Amino acid sequence: MPGTFVFKSLKPMTRRDFLARSGAVSTLLVTSRPASAAAQPQVGIPASAKPLFVSTWPFGRASNEAALKVFQAGGSLLDAVEQGIWVTESDAGNGSVGLGGIPNAAGVVQLDACIMEGVGHRAGSVAALEGIRHPISVARRVMEKTPHVMLVGEGARQFALEQGFEQGERVSPGREKAWKNWKAQQDAKRASKPKGHDTIALVGLGPDGHLCGGCSTSGMGYKLPGRVGDSPILGSGLYVDDEIGAAGATGIGENVLRYCGSYQVVEYMRQGLSPQDACLETLRRIAKKDPKGFDLSISFIAIDKQGRFGAAGTGSGFQYSVTFPGTSVVLQSPGLTAKSVGPIGGNRPPVK
C-alpha cells in the first residue's frame, strides 16, 4: 500500500533517517513492494511538487537549489539545469569540476561537459576544453548554434572564444603547486595512479513532464593529456529520454564508458523498473561482465517521468542531492557489493 513520508530537516541524512522522519516541509510518496534481496522503497514526489532536480554528491545540493531559483524566476528547465551547474563549476574548492579542478599530468585542467533535453532529443557536448569557465554553457551553445553534437580540444576552445565565453586560468595557482609537488615525486619508471574522479551530473523534471540534464567535470586528476571520460559522452555520463526518464553517472569514467551506463539505466526504466532499481540493475549488469566485479567506483542517479527518483553506487553507495519546491536534502543511496547481493547474476527482481 502507498504511504506518505515527509522531511523534517534539510540536513544531510541517511536513507533510514529519510524513510523514518516526518514533519511539515513537503511530502514524498514511498510505495512498498514485496520484500526481496534487491527490492528498495520507491521514492517520488507528488505531481504538484515539480520541478524536481536530482544531482550527484552533496555539493550538487547548491546546484539544485540554484536551478530551482532559475526555474521559479521564469527560466526554462534547460536554463535551470545549465545555471545550476554553473554553481559547481564556479566552486574553486571543488577538485573534480570546473577550472578549480585537479589538472592533468601536464599541469593543465581539461574540462568535459554535455547537456541534453528530452524535447527533440537535442544535445551538445565538449571535451578536453581548456581555459573556459563554464563548459556546460559551451556544450549548450554547440547544441543550439552548430549542426554538431560534440566539439573537442582546441576546436572547442576556439568555438567558445568566438562565442564570447568567459575565460579563466588553465590551472589555479593552488592546483599548480600541488601538481608540481606530484610531478616531482614521480618515479621515472612508474607513474602513480590518477586521483579524483567526481562529477556534477544534474537531471531535472518540469511540471509539464519534460526532462533535461547536464554533466560537467574536470576529469580524473593527473590524467594523460587528452583523456576523456564518460561525462561528455551521451549515453555514458548522461542520457535523457522524454518518454521515460533521465540518468547521470559519476565515478571512474572508463568503467561507465565501456557499458553506456546512463543509457542502460534509462532502458531499464523503459522496461518497468523504478529509477533506483534501474540504477541497481545496471550496476549488477556491469559487475557481472567486468573482471573487477563490484570494485568499479561508479554510481548513478535517475528520475522518471512520474517524478520518482533514485540512485545507487558500487561499494557502500554514495550521497546524492534532491531538491523540489520546499525541500532540498542530501540522501544516502544504497550500495552494491558481492556480499550484499550474493553471487553476481543471482537474486534479483525479474526484468520484463
- At 304, phi and psi to the nearest 5? -120, 175
Please identify which of the residues 27, 56, 88, 199 carries the catalytic annotation: 199
Omega cis (within 30) before 51: yes
Strand partners, 217: 112
Write phi, then psi, for 151 (nearest 5 degrees): -125, 145
From CA 124, how far away is CA 226, in angstroms rounded?
A: 19
Please tell me the distance from the alpha carbon of residue 42 to that of residue 28, in angstroms, as a whole number. 10
- Retrieve residue 22's grid coordinates: 516526518
CA distance 183 to 194: 12
217 is catalytic: no
DSSP-assigned letters across all residues of 210-261 = -EEEEEEE--SBTPPTT---STTSBTTTEEEETTTEEEEEEE-HHHHHTTTH
Catalytic (active-site) positions: 199
